[in-house]
Amino acid sequence: MRKTDWFKKMSFYQIWVRSFADGNGDGIGDLYGVYDKLGYIKKLGVDGIWFSPLYPSPNADFGSDISDYRDIHPDYGTLDQFKKVLARAHELGLKVIMDLVVNHTSDEHPWFKESRKSKDNPYSDYYIWRDKPNNWDSLFEGKAWEYDEQRGQYYLHIFAKKQPDLNMDNPAVREEVKGIMRFWLEMGVDGFREDVINFISKKEGLPDGLPFLPAVNGMPYYKDGPHIHEYMAEFRQVCDEYDCFQLGEGPMTTVQSALKYLSGPTKSLDMMFSFDHMMADCMYTEYVHRPFSLVKLKKAFSRWQKALEGKAWNALYLENHDHPRIISRYGSERFWRESGTMLAASYIFQCGTPFIYQGQEIGMTNIRLRDINRYVDVSTKNNFNTYHLKDSLERRLKRIHISSRDSSRTPMQWSGERYGGFSKVRPWFVVNSNYPKVNAAAEEKDPDSILNFYRKALALRKSSKTLIYGKYREYFPGDPSVYMYERSMGSVRYLVICSFSKLPQRLRIPKAYVGKKGQLKLCNYPSGPQLMADNLKARVRQEVSLLAWEHGMLRPYEARVYRFRV
């Protein structure tokens, strides 16, 4: 069994290395760049790093199509360089977790190259082969089956064509997975983030899905499949030999099915990335957009907070490499600083381990490229070329601007220098044109920057047992503009108040707090009525805010954290 639950107190920084920092001057982020930035990460106040896949990969899906699980992609460095990063991170007190993508490999992985050769070779049963495909769609590229000339059969790919699904029912495949885990654990890594881990067990017979559910029609037969918990128990055992933790990515998971991974006799994972709260402005994927609803967001937050309370532990996030930037979604680019900081407060003080994605802490926003060919992500291209073909080009591009994963994959903006200081040469992918304003160096100097707010918020969380372990309670769940939640333990209570509105909002006080005096521990506006005025229409906003302040109201996108003793 597990020795510790050290991960509960922690917060993590996610690195998508290709766009993080270019250390050797070829325009691609790498582990030399990471090494140089470890001090920056430490200073942010996090306690660990999650590396998105670093392994050799043909990059059909930028690293989630792995061709060798025991090495580092040459673009990013060498195994030795990884070991240096790991050692230095540990010296700084930072844990390091690796991405484990085992639902599928690259079609260029040696296992697949062997498997496709014939129906009776040692690897023939490593993947899912059929003479006749069923009707499943893939999530990334057309049908989920691709015919292979060499073998004369179809293979299953739930994601892109170049990502054939492994056959986890084959015990030899599970042994491979455990071998890979041991390889990295022996080297000293502290755990894994497990990619689409709830998809690895497929229903026997692979039945046809419902015809009227495009893209996800097979999901009922591969999500939380029949043997998932047996397989997870096997992986758990390996983890338990080491003092490490496992975090699963659970697309489309419900609270009820997540609890089976996170608690009780089938407990295998320490945390799970859920998606409910990422659907407050869309249905299933950002590509199917709808107007943002704070009430939906709050419902999702509170559902997970309450259902897991006392039983399991949440993984908290608002951004990662799979979603557009959060300010552009749930906040406002016009109220860039205010909404960027407010969004931080909206989730960091919930119960769970916060994850911060590179660039989120400086308030990076979406890109809006005019030419679809400049986008690089396979699912972005697929969405553009498959759906809404009758719409005008303009409208289709607009959908991409709202939804593309590429918005989170532009180079990190380190400074106001050329290419945002990411590299000395032209980077592999476009730099967001707002880098002269949105960058780490500028924000370092500004006490009221988004970056410094993240630092303060993480430090505040770390300073308080109540904020880490306390009970969660939401107030005024029906309020369409303000999210208010409490964390309590013994006589200590924290009240977190977040306005999601461009307009001043009435500050409602929960009954239990009437007449009590709290201490303001954190606010995203400088104290007193003086205001920030660093972007568009600043003067109008100043006046509106001033009025709000004078009337005891919440200013646009204001966030406050109070501490009470009761």
Active-site amino acid positions = 195, 249
Question: Position 511: which residue type?
Answer: K
Shortest distance, CB of residue 452 to ligand GLC, whole angstroms?
Answer: 29
**195 touches ligand GLC by CB under 6 A:** yes
If the CB atoms of residues 249 and 406 are measured against ligand GLC, the closer one turns out to be 249
If the CB atoms of residues 148 and 195 are measured against ligand GLC, the closer one turns out to be 195
Shortest distance, CB of residue 30 to Ca ion, whole angstroms?
Answer: 4
User: Binding to ligand GLC (CB under 6 A): which residues in 46-105?
Assistant: 61, 64, 101
**28 touches Ca ion by CB under 5 A:** yes
Contact criterion met (CB below 8 Å) for 195 and 101: yes
Contact criterion met (CB below 8 Å) for 249 and 200: no
- Rounded Cα distance between 394 and 398, Å, is 6
Helices vs strands, H then E, count in the chain: 16, 18
Largest CA distance in the chain: 78
**Any residues with CB less than 8 A from the CB of 515 and at least 6 apart, and which?**
none
Residues touching Ca ion: how many (CB under 5 A)? 5
If the CB atoms of residues 60 and 496 are measured against ligand GLC, the closer one turns out to be 60
**22 touches Ca ion by CB under 5 A:** yes
Return the one option of Ca ion, ligand GLC, none that residue 486 interacts with (CB less than 5 to 8 A, by type): none
Shortest distance, CB of residue 510 to ligand GLC, whole angstroms?
Answer: 38
**Any residues with CB less than 8 A from the CB of 518 and at least 6 apart, and which?**
495, 562, 563, 564
Residue number of the CB closest to Ca ion reads 30
Shortest distance, CB of residue 206 to ligand GLC, whole angstroms?
Answer: 19
Shortest distance, CB of residue 405 to ligand GLC, whole angstroms?
Answer: 7
Residues touching ligand GLC: how many (CB under 6 A)? 9
Assigned token pair, 186: 């022996």
If the CB atoms of residues 378 and 523 are measured against ligand GLC, the closer one turns out to be 378
**Any residues with CB less than 8 A from the CB of 283 and at least 6 apart, and which?**
290
Shortest distance, CB of residue 294 to ligand GLC, whole angstroms?
Answer: 26
If the CB atoms of residues 277 and 321 are measured against ligand GLC, the closer one turns out to be 321
Q: Which of 89, 196, 272, 532 binds ligand GLC (CB under 6 A)?
A: 196
Contact criterion met (CB below 8 Å) for 266 and 232: yes
Contact criterion met (CB below 8 Å) for 32 and 24: yes
Return the one option of ligand GLC, Ca ion, none that residue 276 interacts with (CB less than 5 to 8 A, by type): none
If the CB atoms of residues 54 and 559 are measured against ligand GLC, the closer one turns out to be 54
**17 touches ligand GLC by CB under 6 A:** no
Binding segment for Ca ion (CB under 5 A), chosen from 4-12, 27-35, 114-122, 424-432, is 27-35
**Any residues with CB less than 8 A from the CB of 186 and at least 6 apart, and which?**
none
3-state secondary structure string, 463-528?
Answer: HCHHHHHCEEEEECCCCCCEEEEEEEECCEEEEEEEECCCCCECCCCCHHHCCCCCEEEEECCCCC
In the DSSP assignment, the letter for residue 163 is: -
Residue number of the CB closest to ligand GLC reads 64
Handedness of CA 106, 110, 112, 116 (dihedral sign): positive
Return the one option of ligand GLC, Ca ion, none that residue 322 interacts with (CB less than 5 to 8 A, by type): ligand GLC
Return the one option of ligand GLC, Ca ion, none that residue 26 interacts with (CB less than 5 to 8 A, by type): Ca ion
Contact criterion met (CB below 8 Å) for 66 and 106: yes
Helix (H) or strand (E) holding 194: strand 191-194
Return the one option of Ca ion, ligand GLC, none that residue 141 interacts with (CB less than 5 to 8 A, by type): none
Return the one option of ligand GLC, Ca ion, none that residue 64 interacts with (CB less than 5 to 8 A, by type): ligand GLC
Return the one option of Ca ion, ligand GLC, none that residue 383 interacts with (CB less than 5 to 8 A, by type): none
Strands across the sheet with 559-565, in order? 471-475, 482-489, 492-499, 559-565, 519-523
Shortest distance, CB of residue 222 to ligand GLC, whole angstroms?
Answer: 13
Q: Could you write out the DSSP letters of every residue in 339-370?
A: HHHHHHHHHHTSSSEEEEETTGGGT------S
**24 touches Ca ion by CB under 5 A:** yes
3-state secondary structure string, 58-102?
Answer: CCCCCCCCCCCCCCCCCCCCCHHHHHHHHHHHHHCCCEEEEEECC
Contact criterion met (CB below 8 Å) for 504 and 553: yes
Question: What string marks each residue from 208 to 247 as x (binds ligand GLC by CB under 6 A) or -?
Answer: ----------------------------------------
In the DSSP assignment, the letter for residue 39 is: H
User: Binding to ligand GLC (CB under 6 A): which residues in 421-480?
Assistant: none
Strands across the sheet with 145-148, in order? 129-130, 153-156, 145-148
Strand segments, DSSP code E, in 8-65 are: 12-15, 48-51
Question: What string marks each residue from 159 to 188 as x (binds ligand GLC by CB under 6 A) or -?
Answer: x-----------------------------
Burial annotation 91-128 (CB, 10 A radius, 16+ → b, else e): eeebbbbbbbbbbbbbbbbebbeebbeeeeeebbbbbb
Return the one option of ligand GLC, Ca ion, none that residue 28 interacts with (CB less than 5 to 8 A, by type): Ca ion
Shortest distance, CB of residue 7 to Ca ion, whole angstroms?
Answer: 31
Shortest distance, CB of residue 160 to ligand GLC, whole angstroms?
Answer: 8
Return the one option of ligand GLC, Ca ion, none that residue 30 interacts with (CB less than 5 to 8 A, by type): Ca ion
If the CB atoms of residues 340 and 411 are measured against Ca ion, the closer one turns out to be 411
Binding segment for Ca ion (CB under 5 A), chosen from 25-33, 159-167, 274-282, 305-313, is 25-33
Q: Which of 26, 68, 125, 417 binds Ca ion (CB under 5 A)?
A: 26
Return the one option of ligand GLC, Ca ion, none that residue 24 interacts with (CB less than 5 to 8 A, by type): Ca ion
- Report how far apart, in Å, the C-alpha atoms of 158 and of each of 105, 142, 201, 210, 400 are: 11, 10, 12, 16, 22
- Rounded Cα distance between 280 and 37, Å, is 33
Where does this chain bind ligand GLC (CB under 6 A)?
A: 61, 64, 101, 159, 195-196, 249, 321-322
Where does this chain bind Ca ion (CB under 5 A)?
A: 22, 24, 26, 28, 30
